[in-house]
Structures are given as C-alpha cells and as structure tokens.
C-alpha cells in the first residue's frame, strides 16, 4: 500500500470517529439535582405502567388501575418538585397522561409539563415528538402546529427512526400519503 493510500484510510477513520463523537456528545444526559427525583421518576413510571397493565390485561379492574395511575402521577409530580429542572420527569408526566387509557381531563397538566420541558431544553428531540403527539391527540385545540415539532425533532436527530415514523404517520393521517 502506498503512503497516499494509508493517509486516505487513516483520514477516513478519523472522520468516522469524529462523527461518532459528535453524535454521542449531541445526546443529552440529564442528571437530576437529587437522587430522590430520579427515584420518584422511576417509581412513578413503574406505577403508571402497572396501571396500563391493569387495563390491558384486566387483571385488577379499572379501580385498581386508577389507584396505580394516581400513585404514579403523584410520584412524577414529586420528582418535578424535588428537581424543577429535570426534563425527563416532565416528559414522563405528559406521557403518563397521554397513554392508554388516556386521561383527557388531565390534558392541561400534560400541556404545562411539555411547555416547561421545552423551555428547559429546546434542543431535545423527545420533547418535540411528545409535543407533536400531544397536539394530534389533544381535543382542546392546537396552540401550535404538530408538523413544526415533527420536523424539529427530525432536524435535531436525523437518524431517529421514531421521528421519521411518527412524522410519516402524521402525514398519512393528514392525507399526504405520497409525502409520507
């Protein structure tokens, strides 16, 4: 192999490594201010997931499901109170409200959580995807356009299959199956 060939291969390796490092540094890792905030987040998500299982598998009935959901919501709100800058707690709260069975009466709480998460970190693609989903799901009317948030999520993380899939589903629902 010639010196030029060796240089070309090493240059390509450096470029590839640089892209991987840039992608890794672009990921946002959130550390809560207290470990209690993270514990409440995890336990809250556990109870919300249990509430979903109660409904889907009908193992405990609707009353038990609502008890689990209420416990989960209480813990997620506790996580936010313990660390008001912990974005994952706001996203988990909004997700809990929007999941099955949807709690439409709590839509304002989900909306407030999403707005706060966006104000804390505008460059979080998960926040934009959740806002777009909320805008499509919510019956109270649009305070923003879901399309803008789908596009922003894709712009922030262009290699996200979840972002592209959600945007394609949105376009299809809007009657733009060609563009999807």
- Domain CATH for 80: 1.25.40
The pLDDT of residue 111 is above 80:
yes
146-151 contacts, C-beta under 8 A, 24 or more apart: 146/170
Mean pLDDT of 131-153: 82
Which residue range(s) make up the domain with 44?
A: 30-121
Q: Which residue has the higher pLDDT, 16 or 127?
A: 127
Asked, for residue 131, whether it belongs to a domain, the answer is: yes
Are residues 79 and 136 both part of a single domain? Answer: no
Instruction: State percent of the chain over pLDDT 70.
Output: 77
pLDDT at 19: 42
Are residues 43 and 71 both part of a single domain? Answer: yes
Residue 166's alpha-carbon distances to 73, 76, 98, 99, 171, in angstroms, are: 26, 25, 15, 16, 9
Asked, for residue 34, whether it belongs to a domain, the answer is: yes
Q: Which of 97, 121, 145 is the last residue of a domain?
A: 121
Are residues 108 and 97 both part of a single domain? Answer: yes
pLDDT at 25: 38
Are residues 146 and 83 both part of a single domain? Answer: no
Mean pLDDT of 172-179: 78
Distance CA 22, CA 15 (A): 11
User: For 32-81, how does the pLDDT look when each residue is reduced to its tens digit (9 = 90+)?
Assistant: 777 899 999 999 999 999 888 887 777 667 777 889 999 999 999 999 99
Per the CB < 8 A criterion, the answer to whether 33 and 83 are in contact is yes
Per the CB < 8 A criterion, the answer to whether 128 and 150 are in contact is yes
Average pLDDT score, the chain: 82
pLDDT at 5: 52
Q: How many domains does the chain have?
A: 2
CA angle (46, 47, 48) in 5-degree steps:
95
pLDDT at 143: 60
Q: Which residue has the higher pLDDT, 67 or 16?
A: 67
Q: Residue 71 has which token pair? A: 């416990």
pLDDT at 22: 41
pLDDT at 2: 63
């Amino acid at each position: 192999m010639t010196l030029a060939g060796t240089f070309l291969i090493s240059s390509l390796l450096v470029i590839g490594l640089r892209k991987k490092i840039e992608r890794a540094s672009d990921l946002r890792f959130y550390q809560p201010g207290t470990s209690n905030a993270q514990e409440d987040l995890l336990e809250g998500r556990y109870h919300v997931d249990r509430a979903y299982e109660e409904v889907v598998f009908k193992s405990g009935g609707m009353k038990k499901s609502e008890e689990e959901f209420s416990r989960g919501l209480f813990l997620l709100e506790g996580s936010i109170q313990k660390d008001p800058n912990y974005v994952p707690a706001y996203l988990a709260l909004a997700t809990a409200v929007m999941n099955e069975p949807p709690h439409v009466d709590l839509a304002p709480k989900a909306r407030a959580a999403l707005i706060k998460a966006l104000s804390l970190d505008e460059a979080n693609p998960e926040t934009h995807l959740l806002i777009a989903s909320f805008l499509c799901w919510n019956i109270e009317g649009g305070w923003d356009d879901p399309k803008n948030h789908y596009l922003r999520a894709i712009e922030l993380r262009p290699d996200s299959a979840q972002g592209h899939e959600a945007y394609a589903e949105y376009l299809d629902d809007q009657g733009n199956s060609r563009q999807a």
